[in-house]
Amino acid sequence: MEKAKVYYTKDISSESLIKIYDALNVDLKGKIGVKVSTGERGSRGYLKADIIGPLVKKLNGTIIECNTAYDGARIDTIEHLKVAEEHGFTAYANVDIMDSEGEEKIPVKNGKHLEYDIIGTHFDNYDAIVNLAHGKGHAMGGFGANLKNQSIGIASRNGKAYIHTAGKTANPDELWSNLPEQRDFIEAMAEAAKAVSDHLKENNRPIVYITVMNFLSVACDCDSAQTDPVMSDLGIVASLDPVANDQAFIDMIWNSKEEGAKLLQERIDSRQGRHILEYAEELGLGTTDYELIEI
């Protein structure tokens, strides 16, 4: 497999986000869904509306999300939309909670853990997708970026429970009593991300990947008591390959000389977080071999 191209800029601004999207040289047409985490009420690290808003507007895009499996302000559509408004997203675009009117199963091919992925029915309303992730640590996955944004992020509430339990149950009420081996959960995320990719390919719907690497906390934006960043902002990466884009983010954390980077490394490896990259590559979702192109 040839090396994937990963574009990179150190500058984090709405202008840089548009510039790096343009560097991908894709012409997304039709109805465009921009998958962003709206952030739990109380969290601080979620991607800010003033940074992502101008790109979403330029694409005439809709911000797309799904409800959460855990108890919080985004457990149901009405409250979730309130949080999206509080966090400034509705000032730039419509926000569509994709499982607000139901869910559908899409096949998982060659999976060890999942038979299918469960996503919101509204996902199929979009002709093209921008997977716009916030790179940071995560309490369960070790880290979150494009692969997590495509698996847990696009899954419906029940789909999130199904991935989190590596296929044991799709009932959010049974999630916490059915947690699997950690490695199985990491692999289930990769399988769900691949299912979304396959589903888009089969319907000739393109997807691009962008990760903004700022507010690098060991905790996720889904945590209402999100802790402070442990290292400096790294910049923005963008690619047509989600595995390469996540690998570039991980490599920057491992190449950092900052003391705080060790805390993020420890969080990621204590959760076997890097395994998602090799397993996603094994599934054929992308490659860990990339060329970094600074713009």
Question: 146-199, pLDDT tens digit by residue?
Answer: 999 999 999 999 999 999 999 999 999 999 999 999 999 999 999 999 999 999
Q: Looking at residue 8, what is its pLDDT?
A: 99
50 domain-assigned: yes
CATH number at residue 113: 3.40.50
- The rounded distance, in Å, linking the Cα atoms of 256 and 258 is 5
The residue length of the chain stands at: 295
Q: Looking at residue 58, what is its pLDDT?
A: 97
Q: Looking at residue 75, what is its pLDDT?
A: 67
- The rounded distance, in Å, linking the Cα atoms of 147 and 134 is 11
273 domain-assigned: yes
Task: Give pLDDT < 50 ranges for the chain.
Answer: none
79 domain-assigned: yes
What 196-200 contacts at long range (C-beta under 8 Å, 24+ apart), as own/partner pairs, is 196/106, 196/117, 196/119, 196/150, 196/151, 196/154, 197/150, 197/242, 197/285, 198/106, 198/107, 198/109, 199/106, 199/107, 199/119, 200/129
Q: Looking at residue 140, what is its pLDDT?
A: 95
**Residues with Cβ within 8 Å of residue 221, at least 6 apart in sequence:** 37, 39, 40, 43, 45, 46, 134, 136
- The rounded distance, in Å, linking the Cα atoms of 282 and 46 is 30
241 domain-assigned: no
Q: Looking at residue 225, what is its pLDDT?
A: 82
Q: Looking at residue 135, what is its pLDDT?
A: 98
Question: Which residue segment(s) compose the domain that 287 sits in?
Answer: 4-236+246-294
88 domain-assigned: yes
287 domain-assigned: yes
149 domain-assigned: yes
259 domain-assigned: yes
| DSSP strands (E only) in the chain | 4-9, 32-35, 62-65, 95-97, 103-107, 116-120, 128-134, 136-138, 142-144, 207-213, 235-239, 290-294
Number of domains the chain contains? 1
